[in-house]
Amino acid sequence: MTALDDIDHRILRELVRDGRQSNLALADRVGLSPSACLRRVQALERSGVVRGYRAVLDPGRMGVGFVAYVTVGLGTHTKTAQEAFERAISRAPEVRECHNITGTVEYLLRVEAADLAAYKHWHTEVLGVLPQVRSITTFVVMGSPKDDRA
């Protein structure tokens, strides 16, 4: 693991806030010279602390009006069953996140769809037909007062 100091943490907070800001602006915000700031950012990238940069999209403008977290329990707890489930889920564009978790179920999914009807179709015709799936529980997102995902 890479040892991070206070300046590294300040750089990371700024990059999370705005990954497209110029090195000059970033250096000014964290109190470094531009060359020192660039060296640190490059070191954070090389070490894998910064894995990449991405665009943050507005779901509503992308036609997404329905968001849910879905827990999925598998019928068998084998590596083969998990791998097959994960392959199927990786092909589903509605699934924006898939987490293998501990507890009474194996997976937590973040699912985005145009509306309830589109979600129902995905739930029934995609997720519901997977032979590994034993249980599905849906938690509909009514609002997100805090969402730090970039």
Residues 69 and 91 in one domain: yes
pLDDT digits (tens, 9 = 90+) for 118-128: 999 999 999 99
Which domain does 80 fall in, by range? 60-140
Task: Please report, for the domain that includes residue 92, its CATH number.
Answer: 3.30.70.920
pLDDT digits (tens, 9 = 90+) for 4-50: 999 999 999 999 999 999 999 999 999 999 999 999 999 999 999 99
Looking at the structure of the chain, the number of domains it has is 2
pLDDT digits (tens, 9 = 90+) for 79-113: 999 999 999 999 999 999 999 999 999 999 999 99
Residues 120 and 85 in one domain: yes
In a domain, 147, yes or no: no
Q: Provide the token pair at 46.
A: 């090389």
The answer to whether the beta carbons of residues 16 and 30 sit under 8 Å apart is no
Task: Please report, for the domain that includes residue 28, its CATH number.
Answer: 1.10.10.10
Sorting pLDDT into bands at 50, 70 and 90, what band is 147?
Answer: confident
Measured between alpha carbons, how far is residue 30 from residues 7, 51, 57 in Å?
7, 20, 27
Residues 103 and 126 in one domain: yes
In a domain, 53, yes or no: no
In a domain, 146, yes or no: no
